[in-house]
Amino acid sequence: MEGNYQVIRDSTVVVGQQNRVLRNTYALLALSMVPTVLGALIGVQLNFSFLAGSPILGLLLFIGVSWGLIWGIQRNKDSGVGVMLLLGFTFFMGLLLGPLLQVALHFANGGRLIALAAGGTGAIFFGLAGIASSTQRDFSGLGKFLFAGLILLVVASIANIFFHIPALSLAVSAIAIVIFSAYILFDINRIVHGGETNYVVATLSVYLDIYNIFVNLLNLLMAFAGERD
């Protein structure tokens, strides 16, 4: 009896820890949207873009800054420094939204397109997060397939920076939405099943999923529903 009681108690502690990580992830994720929006507003005003001028140098600079911040977040994930770096990273990613939002706002219905992209992203996130956190199914097996798809997606995206093929751009956006939607299932499910125990790292992963869905959904909406002045 004592052994069974210990097993039950240990299981309760594990479940409590997983729920706490999930709650903290959602709270920090909500907070991270504040610097993102602030960065986006500044980016729109300043026309902030790493890719303006030289695409190669811009891309290298973007990779250097973003991966430097991600490395810092990972290294300081157990301290307040990690949280501050994460918020700095989300501000930086908000800045990068500036040029895309400027393009959208040049459409007659640009504001509505941005709202639709934000609403669609929210619907995708809440729907898939609800499934991932309530199902007993373990989605960890998706990891290898998603990573392989992500590598191909990055290669196609980089190629399209230089070749500017409209059809490829639309295909990349559609595939990106599918991949990062699946990543929401994967990342939230990992937290629920104890595969990720640090809420700062978990927030970073889920934030990138949401960010990429929004960007690519807005690209598709502009292509198919944008109304010229």
Q: Using alpha carbons, select from 185, 27, 43, 58 the residue that is nearest to residue 102.
A: 43
Range from 116-130, 161-175, 195-209 carrying the lowest mean pLDDT: 161-175
Range from 2-6, 106-110, 115-119, 210-214 carrying the lowest mean pLDDT: 2-6
| CA count, 13 A, side-chain hemisphere, 136 | 0
Which one has a higher pLDDT value, 137 or 29?
29
Q: What is the pLDDT of residues 79-98, one digit of tens each?
A: 999 999 999 999 999 999 98
The residue to which tokens 């040029």 are assigned: 99
Q: What is the pLDDT of residues 4-21, one digit of tens each?
A: 444 444 445 456 678 899
Helix (H) or strand (E) holding 168: helix 166-192
Identity of residue 214? F
Q: What is the pLDDT of residues 48-62, one digit of tens each?
A: 665 555 666 777 788
Quick one: pLDDT at residue 14?
52
For residues 206 and 188, is the Cβ–Cβ distance under 8 A?
yes
Q: How far, in Å, CA of 124 to CA of 181, rounded?
A: 7
Which one has a higher pLDDT value, 180 or 51?
180
Mean pLDDT over residues 21-30, rounded? 96
Mean pLDDT over residues 177-189, rounded? 96
Q: What is the pLDDT of residues 190-207, one digit of tens each?
A: 999 888 999 999 999 999
The residue to which tokens 């459409």 are assigned: 107
Residue 176 has which token pair? 């990106």
Mean pLDDT over residues 114-120, rounded? 97
Quick one: pLDDT at residue 49?
63
Q: What is the number of other CB atoms lying within 10 angstroms of the CB of residue 44?
A: 19
Q: What is the number of other CB atoms lying within 10 angstroms of the CB of residue 74?
A: 14
Cα distances (Å, whole numbers) of residue 73 to 84, 87, 92, 198, 212:
9, 10, 14, 11, 19
Quick one: pLDDT at residue 160?
83
Quick one: pLDDT at residue 13?
47
Quick one: pLDDT at residue 122?
97
CA diameter of the chain: 75
For residues 197 and 21, is the Cβ–Cβ distance under 8 A?
yes
